[in-house]
Amino acid sequence: MPELSLSRPTSFCDACAIRNRAICADLDDREIGLLNGIGRRRHLVAGEQLMWEGDEAVLVANVIEGMLKLSTHLSDGKEQILGLVYPSDFLGRPFGETSPYGVEALTDTVICVFERKDFERFARDHPRLEHKLLERTLTELDRSRRWMLLLGRMTAEQKVASFLLEIGERLGNAKARAGTHVPLPLSRQQIADVLGLTIETVSRQLTRLRNAGVIDLPSRREIVLQDLPDLEARAS
pTM of the predicted model over 0.85 = no
Strand-pairing partners, residue 7, are 41
pLDDT in tens, 55-95: 998 999 999 999 999 999 888 888 888 888 998 888 988 88
Reduce the DSSP state of residue 163 to 3 states and report it: helix
Q: Which of 59-63, 148-152, 164-168 comes out lowest in average pLDDT?
A: 148-152
Q: Which of 208, 113, 108, 118 has its CA nearest to residue 158?
A: 208
Tell me which CATH code domain 6-150 carries.
Answer: 2.60.120.10
Class of domain 154-235: mainly alpha
Q: What is the per-residue pLDDT for 17?
A: 64
Q: Considering only CA atoms, which of 63, 69, 98, 93 is closest in space to residue 83?
A: 69
- Among 30-34, 133-137, 221-225, which range has the highest average pLDDT? 221-225
For residues 167-179, average pLDDT: 74
Sign, CA dihedral 31-32-34-38, equals: positive
Which of 173, 170, 51 is CA-nearest to residue 100?
51
Domain map of the chain by residue range?
Answer: 6-150, 154-235
Any residues with CB less than 8 A from the CB of 37 and at least 6 apart, and which? none
Q: Which residue, among 62, 215, 218, has the nearest Cα to 129 in the 3D structure?
A: 62
Q: Which residue has the higher pLDDT, 223 or 133?
A: 223
Task: Look at residue 5 in the predicted model and tell me its pLDDT.
Answer: 46
Instruction: Report the candidate in 116, 106, 71, 113 with the shortest Cα–Cα distance to residue 86.
Output: 106
pLDDT in tens, 188-209: 988 998 888 999 999 999 999 9
Q: What is the pLDDT of residue 18?
A: 65
**Of 232, 160, 231, which is closest to residue 202 (Cα–Cα)?**
160
- 9 pLDDT more than 70: no
